[in-house]
Amino acid sequence: GAVVSQHPSWVICKSGTSVKIECRSLDFQATTMFWYRQFPKQSLMLMATSNEGSKATYEQGVEKDKFLINHASLTLSTLTVTSAHPEDSSFYICSASRGPVYGYTFGSGTRLTVV
C-alpha cells in the first residue's frame, strides 16, 4: 500500500514553454503533498506544501508564479513550471502521506531538462 505515482518520469522542453508534472496517491487519500527539487548529488530541497482545496505554501525563495501548484483532489497534485528556462532543469520529486505516523511515500521523480 501507500503508492505515489509521478508523471512524467522525464521531460525535455524548449525554453519559454510550460511543463506540468502530476503526482497521484494511488491507494490512499493525501490532504497534503510536498514538492521537492533535487540537484545532482545534493539533498532534497522543499519547494512547497500542497494542500487539497487551498493555496500551496511556498518555501522562502521559491517563485510562486514560476512554480504553480494545484491540489485539486485528495489524490492529485500538480506542479507546473511556467516559462521554463535552462536554470529550471532539475529533478523534481513529490511526496504524500496518510499521516505522520506512517512516514512519507515518494514519487519516482521527474527529470526536467530545458533546452
Partner 1 sequence: AQTVTQSQPEMSVQEAETVTLSCTYDTSESNYYLFWYKQPPSRQMILVIRQEAYKQQNATENRFSVNFQKAAKSFSLKISDSQLGDTAMYFCAFMLASGGSNYKLTFGKGTLLTVNP
**Cell numbers that stand for 103 in this block:** 512516514
Residue 78 binds partner 1, judged by CB under 8 A: no
Closer to partner 1 by Cβ: residue 15 or 55: 55
Contact by Cβ (8 Å): 36, 44: yes
Residue 86 binds partner 1, judged by CB under 8 A: no
**Binding to partner 1 (CB under 8 A): which residues in 24-43?**
32, 34, 38, 41-43
**Cell numbers that stand for 6 in this block:** 509521478
DSSP H stretches of helix in the chain: none
Residue 44 binds partner 1, judged by CB under 8 A: yes
Residue 109 binds partner 1, judged by CB under 8 A: yes
Where on the chain is the footprint of partner 1 (CB under 8 A)?
Answer: 32, 34, 38, 41-44, 46, 49, 57, 91, 93, 95, 97, 100-101, 103-106, 108-109
